[in-house]
Amino acid sequence: MPDVYSIHLAETDSTNRYLLDAYRAAADDAPLRKAEVVVVRADFQTAGRGQGSNRWASEQGKNLLCSILMQPRGVMAAQQYILSMAGALALFDVLKPLGEGFTLKWPNDVYWHDSKLSGTLIETTLKGSCIEACIFGIGLNVNQQHFPADVPNPVSLRHIVGVDTDVCHWLDSIVTAFRQRMDAVNSGAYAALRADYHAALYRRTGTHAYRDSQGIFRATMQGVADDGHLLLRDTEGTLRRYAVKEVEYIL
C-alpha cells in the first residue's frame, strides 16, 4: 500500500466532507484506509468551511485547498488537542523559513504579522475512547491577491514573497511536515510538541485587547491548556479560560 494516497478534484463542496464520506465508505483493505496519509486536493470549493459557521473564500485554482487524513496511534479523545497542535506546527514548519513574522494564532491559524495566511478545520472519528482518524482541512492562501471585503485581515504568500508559487509544491512540503509531526505524536512526545506550539503562538508576549461576551478587556497570554482552552490573565489578575469562539482577538 502507498505511504501517501492522493486524490485531486477539480471541484467539490468541501474536501473535508468528501474525505470523511470516502473514509467511512471504504473497505478495511482499501488504499484509502491502509495508506499512512490520505490527501484530497481541490482546485475549487463551493462550500469551504472554517471554524464554527465561518466560510473559507478562495479564487479558482489560486490557493491550496486540501484535506489530510492521518490515523494517529494511542491518542485518547480527551487528548485530541495534541493533534491540533501537531497540525498547526506542520504548517508553521513549512512557512517559517520564508522569514520573520510567522506565528500560530490559537487554535491553529497561521498568521503573518497581524494577517491570516492559513486556517485549519479538524474533524475526527473515534474508535472506543481513542481517535481512529483525524482529518485536517487546510486552506492556505498562495497566489490570490484580492479578497472579498468581508474576509478579515487576509494575506497570501503572493503578498509575502512577491511572486506566484506552485500550489503543489506547498502541498508536498506540508505532507512531509505532517508526517514528521505525527511521528512525534505517535512516539508520545507531547511535551515537546506543546513547547514548540507555545513558542510559536501569536501574542505570546505583551498585553493585548480581547473581547468576550462581557465586553473588551486587556490580558496577557498564559498559554493553552491540554484540553485546548485558551488561558488569558486580565489586567485585574484574573485567569480567564476560553473555548473556541468564546473570545475574539481585537486587532
Residue of 143, 142, 37, 163 whose CA lies nearest to 95: 142
End-to-end CA distance of the chain: give it in Å, rounded. 47
At 196, is the secondary structure helix, strand, or coil? helix
Q: Which segments of the chain does DSSP mark as H helices, in order?
A: 15-25, 31-34, 81-95, 157-161, 167-186, 190-199
Output the furthest CA–CA distance in the chain (Å, rounded).
57
The pLDDT profile of the chain, 251 residues, written as one tens digit per residue, is 469 999 999 999 999 999 999 999 999 999 999 999 999 999 998 876 554 445 556 788 899 999 999 999 999 999 999 999 999 999 999 999 999 999 999 999 999 999 999 999 999 999 999 999 999 999 999 999 999 888 889 999 999 999 999 999 999 999 999 999 999 999 999 999 999 999 999 999 999 999 999 999 999 999 999 999 999 999 999 999 999 999 999 99
**CA-CA distances (angstroms) from residue 88 to 13, 104, 137, 139, 238?**
23, 7, 11, 12, 28
For 169, list phi and psi in degrees, rounded to 5: -60, -45
What single letter denotes the amino acid at residue 205?
Answer: T
Q: What is the DSSP letter of 162?
A: S
220, three cell numbers: 496577557
Q: What angle do CA 89, 184, 97 make, to 5 degrees?
A: 35
Q: How many Cβ atoms sit within 10 Å of the Cβ of residue 248?
A: 12
C-alpha cell at 104: 500560530
Classify residue 176 as exposed, middle or buried by CB count within 10 Å of its CB (0-12, 13-18, 19+): middle
- Burial (Cβ within 10 Å: 0-12, 13-18, ≥19) of residue 29: exposed
Give me 198's grid cell. Answer: 507555545
Distance from C-alpha of 59 to C-alpha of 239, rounded to nearest angstrom: 41
Q: CA nearest 120: which of 105, 131, 130?
A: 105
Which backbone phi and psi does 145 adopt, to 5 degrees? -110, -25
